[in-house]
Amino acid sequence: MNPAVVFENVTFSYPESDEPALKDVSLVIPEGSFALVAGRTGSGKSTLLRAINGLVPHFSGGTFEGRVELQGRSTIDQPPRYLAGVVAFVPQDPDASFVLDRVEDELAYAMENLAVPPVTMRRRVEEVLDLMSLAELRDRSVRSLSGGERQRVAVAAALTAGPRILVLDEPTSQLDPQGAEDVLAGLQRLVHDLGLTVVLAEHRLERVAGFADLAIVCDAGSVSAGEPEPTLSEAGLGPPVARLARLAGWAETPLTVRDARQVAHRYRLPEPDLAPRFRQPPVLELVGVGASYGSRTALEDVSLSLSPGEVAALIGRNGAGKTTLLRCATGLHEVSKGTVSIAGDPPEPGRTIALCPQEPGTVLYKDTVVAEVAATFAARGLLDRDKVSDLLNRFGLAAHASDHPRDLSAGEQLLVATAAIVATGASVLLLDEPTRGLDPESKGLLGGFLRDFASRGGAVMFATHDVELVAAVADRVVLLAGGEVIADGSPSEVLGDSHVFSPQMTRVFGPGWLTPEQVARALVPS
Amino acid sequence: MHPGAWIVWAACAGWVAFSTTNPFYLVVLLGAAWIVHASHRREGPASRSFRVFLLFGLWAMGTRTALVFLGTVEASSVTLALFEGFRLGVLLAVFGTFNSVTDPFGILRFAPRRFHEPALASALALSLAPRTIAATAKVREAQRLRGFRGRRWRMLPSLAVPVLENGMEAALTLAESMDARGHGSGPRTRYRPQAWGPGSWVVASTASLGAVAFLGAVIEHSGGLSPSTFPLEWPEVSSVLLIAVALLAVPALVSDGNDS
């Protein structure tokens, strides 16, 4: 097969940086492959993706050595705009990349620039609107869409230009499991039917590993590539089924639920422990809460309570009302009916209840991490060095204490923002999609913090699309649909009963089995 | 509505505000700007630009008047300052309406090729206001969540730094995105070009008529465009000019569907 992308001894450093972001990278991505780019935050994934269409080095600056070729055309000789017909790029944050206001116009933008004849444009826009299930949103303003809808628009806008190579940086980070599956299956269909080459970075390997036929692993600027199974195993990466294989010492490493089942039937498991947990009296209570945006109803008659010591996960489709529920509970969005109370009083954001917003960048304004956290303490009239450093330790941020928050990776920024919010001292902590863009390591750190926060008598509720995080961290799951609570119970009950929201262990071993660690401890050969 | 019709409307409304300090004309113009905003505003944060520019206008008016108190305070000079401040405020409100009803990049698409670069610069500048408004709202919320309360000036760094930094990052991402999607790579085509239909004709022609009436009044020195404040006199009002200003509210009666 002809190569679609070729890296030849590429070494690249960002301006004012001593450490190269890419070190002597040589890589061939064959035409018509679905390539998965994996690796820790800060390992060079985004840089590698941006080097494919020439944004690195044309927009980043810095020193670039070596050569990148796309179907024989070098990215160095011409700016990215002349490669727009060959390669399309979907950045991590679709919001800032939208140029036009209406969905339909946004989809046509690249084609207009490429002087595609109007008749062809009409046809392609219609095709892609159907492929990405966006037909109903065609006249909407992109700024009024939900996070997941925006992400689908961004992918669609890249597809219309008819590129031969499609590069995507975490394109499903804001999508619910079904939405992510649909987008990825759509991409795979394009790979199979049209010979498109897809290069996609993702942390949540459980979503993508089954689709990929090439794995590219980045580690501190070095890159290795090959068949997905051995390449990911060697790097210690993989979905939960692969982790189970490592923990249980299996000879083969499955990457999908289907592969794992074939190994699993050689083992058996006891009945899972489903003892109900003891609950303390609730601290946060929502009674019959309704909320709306203009004429659009977002929540309908939601009753929900949260007790000290609990870590509850809020799950549901994109647009189910998760964010609105968190905002109502915090007192940021006015409820149209019902009541919200914290220990009997109305919620006071920043005092009795804390909410970590989706975008950590809105929180950060100081020059150092330590000053950022100290500023919140100072607002309460407390400035205790020990408390600040204790909090930094609990988030694993002590090593970054004097770094500039905006120089950190997206995942680390999120931890800093969370620490700055937690410092308000509120005993109820809410988080809105806290693991967007986090690598497994940071995710583990955050999960550990949430459990620790709850064990000290705090109450936690987080909205997420990450069912594996729910399985690992939550002891209660609330499922929202169309603005109503449709299930509320233990993870075993709610996730075990669901087609879409079940973690890999539940899919392989049945309800009650949630994490690889839990399964590995109980597994016996049959 | 064709974006060109909105440019004509904004230019005419701006000219009317510029040509007079008579508060009676200005109050009608302000009403026209509000009703046009209310009937044609876009979805999302852009629709907030009218309110933001109105507040900005009030602030400008306040500042203009406060300056008088630095010198000799007389009824005449205070009135003059109020009139001029009000004109500035109405001008800003007109700009706010323009921002709330049009997509700056929509104007970019409609610009002829040879004006592409200046149009791009204007579109970027125009999009700055709604983007900043949206960013400010988010950051204000983040401040509340951190328990920051108290004096505004002490909170300024925690507001300004994230708004500016996020704004810079967003501008860079946008520039990258435009380039990566082939912006400026050569001749371009237009997707479903917006028709200049009857609705656009009505908007552009009524707005022009209003502006021409004011041009006539400026040339003739009639209609009480600049009421005397020295000595202080009750402003003269011409019914023809009142009707001319009211013409700028006509877009409110035209639905967006009329052009398609």
DSSP string, B29-73: HHHHHHHHHHHHPPSSGGGGHHHHHHHHHHHHHHHHHHHHTTS--
Of B149, B162, B179, the CB nearest to A364: B162
The nearest CA of chain B is from the CA of A41 a distance in Å of 19
* Contact residues for A18 (Cβ-Cβ < 8 A; gap 6+): none
Put simply, the chain B residues between 67 and 106 with a CB less than 8 A from any chain A CB are 103, 105-106
Domains in chain A: how many in total? 4
What H or E segment, with its residue span, contains residue A37? Answer: strand A34-38
Phi/psi of residue A487, nearest 5 degrees = -155, 145
**pLDDT average, residue stretch A463-480:** 95
Asked if residue A463 is part of any domain, the answer here is: yes
Are residues A259 and A199 located together in one domain of the fold? no
Question: Does residue A129 carry a pLDDT above 50?
Answer: yes
Are residues A369 and A404 located together in one domain of the fold? yes
Question: A374 or B42: which carries more pLDDT confidence?
Answer: A374
Question: A379 or B46: which carries more pLDDT confidence?
Answer: A379
Range of the domain at A184: 3-244
Cα distance between residue B133 and residue A77, in whole Å: 39
Of B135, B147, B192, the CB nearest to A379: B147
Which amino acid does the sequence have at A171? P
Query: Percent of chain A at pLDDT above 90?
Result: 72
Are residues A383 and A326 located together in one domain of the fold? no
Are residues A506 and A477 located together in one domain of the fold? no
Supply angle C-alpha B247, B200, B120, rounded to 5.
110
Are residues A47 and A149 located together in one domain of the fold? yes
Are residues A262 and A377 located together in one domain of the fold? no
Decide if B42 and A85 are in contact by the 8 Å CB cutoff: no
B257 touches chain A (CB under 8 A): no
The tens digit of pLDDT for each residue in A29-65 reads 999 999 999 998 878 899 999 999 999 999 999 999 9
Taking CA–CA distances from A163, the nearest residue in chain B reads B181
Q: CB count, 10 Å around CB of A170?
A: 23
Asked if residue B196 is part of any domain, the answer here is: yes
Decide if B45 and A59 are in contact by the 8 Å CB cutoff: no
Are residues A25 and A137 located together in one domain of the fold? yes
Asked if residue B46 is part of any domain, the answer here is: yes
Asked if residue B108 is part of any domain, the answer here is: yes
Taking CA–CA distances from B160, the nearest residue in chain A reads A365
B194 touches chain A (CB under 8 A): no
A499: confidence class by pLDDT, cuts 50, 70, 90? confident
Are residues A51 and A139 located together in one domain of the fold? yes
DSSP A345: B
Asked if residue B11 is part of any domain, the answer here is: yes
Cα distance between residue B122 and residue B19, in whole Å: 24
Are residues A513 and A371 located together in one domain of the fold? no
A89: confidence class by pLDDT, cuts 50, 70, 90? very high
Asked if residue B249 is part of any domain, the answer here is: yes
Residues in chain A: 526
Q: What is the CATH number of the domain that holds A326?
A: 3.40.50.300
Asked if residue A392 is part of any domain, the answer here is: yes
Asked if residue B60 is part of any domain, the answer here is: yes
The nearest CA of chain A is from the CA of B177 a distance in Å of 5
B260 touches chain A (CB under 8 A): no
Question: Does residue A328 carry a pLDDT above 70?
Answer: yes
Asked if residue A494 is part of any domain, the answer here is: no
Asked if residue B70 is part of any domain, the answer here is: yes
* Contact residues for B211 (Cβ-Cβ < 8 A; gap 6+): B11, B12, B15, B16
> What pLDDT score was predicted for residue B260?
42
Asked if residue A387 is part of any domain, the answer here is: yes
Of B42, B149, B186, the CB nearest to A101: B42
Token pair 């195993």: residue: A233
Taking CA–CA distances from B194, the nearest residue in chain A reads A105
Are residues A93 and A216 located together in one domain of the fold? yes
Are residues A150 and A121 located together in one domain of the fold? yes
Domains in chain B: how many in total? 1
B161 touches chain A (CB under 8 A): yes
Plot region of B224 (φ>0 → left; ψ -120 to 50 → alpha; else → beta): left
Asked if residue A34 is part of any domain, the answer here is: yes
Asked if residue B186 is part of any domain, the answer here is: no
> What pLDDT score was predicted for residue B67?
85
Range of the domain at B44: 3-181+191-259
**pLDDT average, residue stretch A387-414:** 88
pLDDT < 70 stretches in chain B: 150-154, 257-260
Of A79, A110, A351, the CB nearest to B181: A110
Decide if A108 and B192 are in contact by the 8 Å CB cutoff: yes
**pLDDT average, residue stretch A278-295:** 91
Are residues A98 and A139 located together in one domain of the fold? yes
Asked if residue A224 is part of any domain, the answer here is: yes
Asked if residue A46 is part of any domain, the answer here is: yes
Residue numbers in B near A106 (CB within 8 A):
none
Question: B123 or A201: which carries more pLDDT confidence?
Answer: A201
Question: Does residue A78 carry a pLDDT above 70?
Answer: yes
